[in-house]
Structure formats: structure tokens, C-alpha cells
Amino acid sequence: MKEASFYNVLDDGKILCYLCARYCRIPEGLIGFCGVRQNIKGKLYSLNYGRLIAMHVDPIEKKPLMHYKPGTWVMSIATAGCNFACQFCQNFDISQRRKVNEPYTSPEELIELTVKRRAQGLSYTYNEPTIFAEYAIDVMRLAHSKGLFNTWVTNGFMTVEALDDISKYLDAATVDFKGSGNREFYRRHMMVPESEPILDALLEMNRRGVFIEITDLIIPIDIGSDLRDLERLVKWIIDNLGPETPFHVLRFHPDYRMLNVPPTPLKMLEKHAEKAKELGLEYVYIGNVWGHPLENTYCPHCNHTIISRLGFQIRYIDIEEDRCPKCGAKLNIVM
């Protein structure tokens, strides 16, 4: 255990945790919604600090990050717990676990392993990295000192106050929407009261120079698969982050408590991708469908294939610094 950051002690003895947008008020001896932050004698403790439940070297495209350091490898880490309770979570055995008994890995040990395995950066992923922010910040700080970069795969449900510390060392983030941010979808299928705090976090990340890619998981049910929801989300992205923001429409596959729902039909994914492009997004992808043409990156000005992919594997990159070699247009890609 380690004493947490991001909390205040209230007059009634409860602790207000302001790490994520749930703002849990935690009585003495009890644990917040995430399952890993406990009030012990008037102090908040992170129960999962350094208790890694997963550690694996992945291609960065798996995150998915298509425009930040394409072709590099990242040490991916996770702990138990999550501040969401998604009924469709593919990592539910990690995210919904409420027992922390994994061995401790110090930030120094993790960075040493990352260098030894020749990864160029780290990704904080598989479960929500916000809930192990204290550990992530310590690791990220050390990573930067060793020339490594840091990326998060996050639901974005963090506070602007927490981002004050997180963003100092965060280079890029994949922010995951589900059901295009439909409020009723979040309440019914994820136990999340509203999706608006994600927008606040995105604005703050963008203001602080974090490179952002957006994913949108489309589940073929009545709520959250309507093109009008996608339209609202895409228009917000264009107006607030810019049309050059990479956007991934992701295919759902049955898992956890939604085994009775079929995989997202390809036609539905293609309609969502087409609508996103029609509305003005310049880089649109379809994820979890290997071999689809929208795995590739195309120049938004001349449609030249600048990165060709098969799944997480890059076939070739045809970029001259940060420009299209065919038409010379500047590309929103960090090499």
C-alpha cells in the first residue's frame, strides 16, 4: 500500500477522492468504487500501487495508436480494478477484480525490464490507468529520464485536477468512448452516471499538448449504435480537438455479461466510419477487423497510402518527415 494523492478529508471523517469524476466519498475502512482505494484511519491508500497484474510488450498499434510513433513497441502494464463496470469488458478478469494480491514491482524494476526488452515506451492499459495514477506518475517520470515515452489507454473519466500531475509526463493517449458517449448507454451498461467529464478531460489533455486518438466501440443494440450519437461525438471532436484527430470505430465481440449480443456487423461499422469522414474527420479507422482497407492510413488531401497495415503489423511507411511524399501535405503523425 501507498498513501494516495488526490484526496481531501471531510468534516464527517469521510474521504473525498478526486482522482476520477466519480468523486467517491469513502467512509472509514471502506473502499471506493474502483476497488483499490481505501480509507484507513483518515488517510486514503492506493492498494494496487506497483501490484502489476499484467506486463507485456505490444506493438503500439494494438492500443490503438496509429499516429504516435508508428511501428514502435511498448511495455504494457495493468493492475486490478476499474472505475467503470462495463458489461462487455474484454478484460473483466482484471478490471472487475476486487482482490489485490499480486507481487510488487518497483518503478525502477519496471523501467529496467522495459529497456531490457527493447521497448521504446510504456503503455498503461488493459484496465483504467487513472486508478493507479500514483504508480503511473512515478513510472512515467522515470521513463522520461531514460528517454522512453508514455501512453495511456483510458476511458477519460478523470478529473482536471488529477491531470495537473498526469499530463506532465503523458505523451499520448487513446481515449475510449463506448456507444458514441450516449448517456443512457453509459448508465445502463457501464454504471457510469454521465460521459461529460470525459469531454472536460479531453479539453485539458489537448490544452496540455497530449497527443490524442479517439476510439468508439459500437455495440449492435438499440442504445448507443444510432448514427445520431456518432454525429454528436464527431462534431464535438472536430469543434474542440480538430478534424485531424485520429478516430477509430471499433467492432464489439461478445464477452463478460453480453455474451448474448452478436459481433458488430461490418456494414454497421462501415456506415459509422463513412459518416465520420462525411462530417469532416480526416483520419478514420475501423478496428478489430483485420484486413480491412481502413486499417491503413491515407493522406487526407490526396488519398495516398502513407502507412499500410495488416492488423497490428506495419507493411510499410511512406512518409517524408511529417509530410505526404506525393502531395507534400502536412500530416498529423508523430514519428
Write the CA distances from 74 to 54, 118, 150, 287, 324, integer angstroms: 13, 9, 9, 19, 26
Extract the C-alpha cell encoding 165.
500531475
Of the candidates 3, 69, 84, the residue with the CA atom closest to the CA atom of residue 37: 3
Query: pLDDT, tens digit, for every residue of 50-106?
Result: 999 999 999 999 999 999 999 999 999 999 999 999 999 999 999 999 889 999 999
Of the candidates 134, 175, 132, 135, the residue with the CA atom closest to the CA atom of residue 151: 175
What is the pLDDT at residue 98?
A: 86
Sequence ranges of the domains in the chain: 2-46, 54-295
> Angle at CA 202, nearest 5°, toward 62 and 207?
115
| Cell 473525498 sits on residue | 16
Which residues lie closer than 8 Å to 174 by C-beta, 6 or more apart? 63, 64, 65, 151, 152, 153, 154, 213, 214, 215
Q: How many CA atoms lie within 13 A of 12 on its CB side?
A: 5
d(CA 245, CA 76): 23
What percentage of the chain carries pLDDT values higher than 70? 100
Would you list the DSSP string of 20-87?
A: BTT--EE-TT-B-TTSSEEEETTEEEETTTTB-SEEEEEEGGGTT-SSBSTT-EEEEEE-S--S---T
Q: What average pLDDT does the chain have?
A: 97
What is the β-pairing status of strands 211-218 and 247-251?
parallel
Of the candidates 214, 314, 265, 250, the residue with the CA atom closest to the CA atom of residue 90: 250
What is the pLDDT at residue 283?
A: 98
Write the CA distances from 30 to 17, 27, 45, 294, integer angstroms: 12, 6, 11, 47
Superfamily of domain 54-295: Aldolase class I (3.20.20.70)
Query: pLDDT, tens digit, for every residue of 281-303?
Result: 999 999 999 999 999 999 999 99
What is the pLDDT at residue 121?
A: 98
pLDDT bucket at 1, cuts 50 / 70 / 90: confident
What is the pLDDT at residue 182?
A: 97
What percentage of the chain carries pLDDT values higher than 90? 98
Q: Is the pLDDT of residue 306 over 90?
A: yes
Rounded to two decimals, the pTM is 0.96
